[in-house]
């Protein structure tokens, strides 16, 4: 029996999980994370073989708690009272109560906040098919930057590899920011598995992992190979 660590990119996980499962209460999503992360301790076709879950590391940032200017409504939004902020705080609280879950929190850059207009609407504005007055609140999204999350993921991967605390690392993520740390872990003999929750990944990522495996339910729109 060998140890398996599951590392979770929180922002990616929440977005994909809500797409796969639909809206969920914080406690329910915490239960699903533990369930599907623990499934990675099984491998191959043998149901009798099971590794040991060393720990689930969840990386995220606390939501904004200050007031932000809304360019559409031309007023201040109290982010502390936002339903999304309250939901995320409750989700973090639920994770803290789970066995073998370590919450790794970075922080949000609350100074350099910007707003985006959807790309489709920008194209229509430039083409003259719509005017600024035709935009709705749904066409605007707040762009905030997470600080310290990628660094924490890299440090933990390096630490787990150097201390030989696990023989396998499973990363639930969908981007390539993890590649340098993954390459280091593999050089140290760690079996590095990527779980993108059925999201497509770039072809060049395959050379930096030892396997691709998603334990979450497959969204209906994804076809079998």
Average pLDDT over residues 65-77: 92
Query: Do the Cβ atoms of 78 and 99 come closer than 8 Å?
Result: no
Residue 207 lies in a domain: yes
Q: How many domains does the chain divide into?
A: 2
Same domain, 157 and 136: no
DSSP label at residue 223: P
Same domain, 155 and 186: yes
Same domain, 63 and 91: yes
pLDDT tens readout for residues 140-178? 999 989 999 999 999 999 999 999 999 999 999 998 889
Average pLDDT over residues 52-75: 94
pLDDT tens readout for residues 9-63? 999 999 999 999 999 999 999 999 999 999 999 865 455 567 999 999 999 999 9
Residue 74 lies in a domain: yes
**Residue matched to tokens 């491998």:** 43
The alpha carbon of residue 179 and the mean position of all alpha carbons in its chain are separated, in whole angstroms, by 16
Same domain, 71 and 121: no
Average pLDDT over residues 79-99: 96
Same domain, 127 and 20: no
**Predicted TM-score (pTM) above 0.75:** yes
What is residue 118's predicted lDDT score, i.e. its pLDDT? 93
Nearest to 181 by CA among 167, 165, 192, 195: 192
What is residue 44's predicted lDDT score, i.e. its pLDDT? 53
- The CB density around residue 53, as the number of other CB atoms within 10 Å, is 20
Nearest to 84 by CA among 55, 64, 111: 64
Domain extent, residue 130, equals 110-143
CATH code of the domain in which 180 resides: 3.40.50.1010
């Amino acid at each position: 029996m060998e140890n398996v660590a599951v590392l979770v990119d929180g922002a990616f996980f929440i977005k994909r999980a809500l797409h796969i499962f639909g809206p969920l209460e914080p406690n329910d999503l915490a239960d699903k994370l533990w369930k599907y992360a623990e499934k990675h301790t099984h491998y191959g076709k043998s149901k009798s073989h099971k590794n040991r879950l060393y720990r689930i590391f969840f990386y995220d940032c606390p939501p904004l708690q200050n007031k932000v200017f809304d360019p559409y409504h031309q007023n201040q939004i109290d982010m502390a009272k936002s339903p999304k902020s309250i939901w995320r705080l409750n989700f973090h609280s639920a994770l803290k109560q789970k066995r073998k879950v370590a919450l790794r929190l970075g922080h949000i850059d609350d100074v350099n906040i910007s707003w985006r207009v959807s790309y489709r609407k920008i194209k229509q504005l430039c083409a003259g098919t719509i005017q600024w007055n035709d935009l709705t609140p749904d066409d605007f999204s707040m762009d905030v930057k997470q600080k310290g999350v990628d660094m924490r993921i890299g440090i933990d991967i390096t630490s787990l590899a150097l201390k030989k605390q696990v023989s396998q690392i499973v990363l639930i993520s969908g981007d390539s920011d993890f590649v340098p740390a993954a390459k280091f872990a593999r050089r140290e003999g760690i079996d590095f598995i990527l779980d993108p929750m059925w999201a497509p990944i770039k072809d060049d990522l395959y050379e930096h992992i030892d396997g691709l495996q998603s334990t979450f339910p497959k969204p209906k729109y994804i076809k079998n190979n």
